[in-house]
Amino acid sequence: GLAFSTNEKHLFIADSGGTEGHNRPKHIRRFEVDASGKTLGSSTVFAKCPAGFFDGFRIDQQDRLWTSCADGVICYRQDGRLIGKIKIPEMVANLTFGGVQRNRLFICGTTSLYAVYLKVNG
C-alpha cells in the first residue's frame, strides 16, 4: 500500500518484505516529499507490524493511518503512536472508506467482507 498524508508532505509506503521470510521488513516507511512534490527525501520507519505484515492502508480526514495486519485493522496517529485496533477473526488484506459520509470502513478478509461504522471520515 501507499498513501499521502492529507497535506501531501509525507508519503507512506508499506514494506511487506516479511512475506518473503521472517527476517525481512514488515513495516510502513514515512518519506518526506519536497516542496515541488516531485522528489522524495529522507525516510523513517513509521510503524512496525505486530502481527503478519502490513498491506493495504488509508488515511482519514484527521490524518490518521488505518492499515491491515494479520488479525485486524490498526489505526495510528501521524506521529506513529498506536490509537487502537479492530480485531477481525481472519487475515485482513485491504480496506477502504465508503458510504455517503465516508465513515464506514470496509475490510476485506480472507473469505469475508466486513463493514464497520466509525466516528471519523475517510
* Residue 26 binned pLDDT confidence (cut-offs 50, 70, 90): confident
Average pLDDT of the segment spanning 75-94? 94
- Most confident range (mean pLDDT) of 17-21, 24-28, 32-36, 45-49 is 32-36
Residue 6 has pLDDT above 90, yes or no: yes
**Predicted TM-score (pTM) of this structure:** 0.88
In the chain, the domains with their CATH numbers are: 2-117 (2.120.10.30)
DSSP codes of every residue in 1-43:
-EEE-TTSSEEEEEE-GGGG-TTS--EEEEEEE-TTSS-EEEE
Grid coordinates of 9 = 508532505
Instruction: Give me the mean pLDDT over the 43-60 stretch.
Output: 88
Question: Which pLDDT band holds residue 119 (cuts at 50, 70, 90)?
Answer: very high
| Residue 43: pLDDT over 90 | yes
Q: Count of alpha carbons within 13 Å of 115, Cβ hemisphere only? A: 6
Q: What is the mean pLDDT of residues 20-31?
A: 76
Read off the pLDDT of residues 89-111 as tens digits, 9 standing for 90 and up.
Answer: 999 989 999 999 999 999 999 99
